[in-house]
Amino acid sequence: MLVQRFREYLTRSVAPHQRNSALHVDAVRDRLNEAERRVGYCGQLVAGWQELMAIDRAAGHDVTAASDLLKKFQIDLEVAMTDKAEAEKAQAKILHDLFEGANGRPPKTDQELNDWLASPQGKAATLFAPTLADRWGSVGRS
């Protein structure tokens, strides 16, 4: 029964009429991990720069140029946070779609989705999530 549901889901996922939202779970996880790394890096950069500016300001130095650079760092942090939020939404959408494909209905609650993802059935579903590829792969293009 589970195999049949996944077959039906996979068939729908790679159908030409469907939009390109059937990204591979690993690719979305990688995107989210990269976004989280970038948020951390930009956050440290902003915090460190603010600390250096405070030291320079206390020493009586002009921090006008440093303030301009801090604004750029803060914009980079905001962009990184936006990218992270979009990656989280993409991951949530894919996991929701996997649940629906396997169970024939959307999850009733987030807890139901999380419990299913922690189950052997959910782990198997994320392992074999669909990718957008042709049946010949790269061999057919050489």
pLDDT over threshold 70, residue 94:
yes
pLDDT bracket for residue 7 (50, 70, 90): low
For 25-29, 98-102, 112-116, which range has the lowest pLDDT when averaged over its residues? 25-29
Cα–Cα nearest to 128, from 15, 22, 30: 22
For 57-61, 93-97, 106-110, 129-133, which range has the lowest pLDDT when averaged over its residues? 129-133
Any idea where the domains of the chain sit in the sequence? Answer: 2-127
pTM for this one? Answer: 0.66
pLDDT bracket for residue 9 (50, 70, 90): low
**Structural contact between residues 114 and 107, judged by C-beta atoms closer than 8 angstroms:** no
Interval 98-113 mean pLDDT: 89
Report CA-CA distances (Å) from 44 to 34, 48, 53, 80, 91: 15, 6, 14, 12, 25
Residues 6+ apart with CB under 8 A from 22: 13, 14, 94, 97, 129, 130, 131, 132
pLDDT bracket for residue 131 (50, 70, 90): very low
Q: Which amino acid is at 45?
A: L
What pLDDT is stored for residue 63 in this prediction? 92
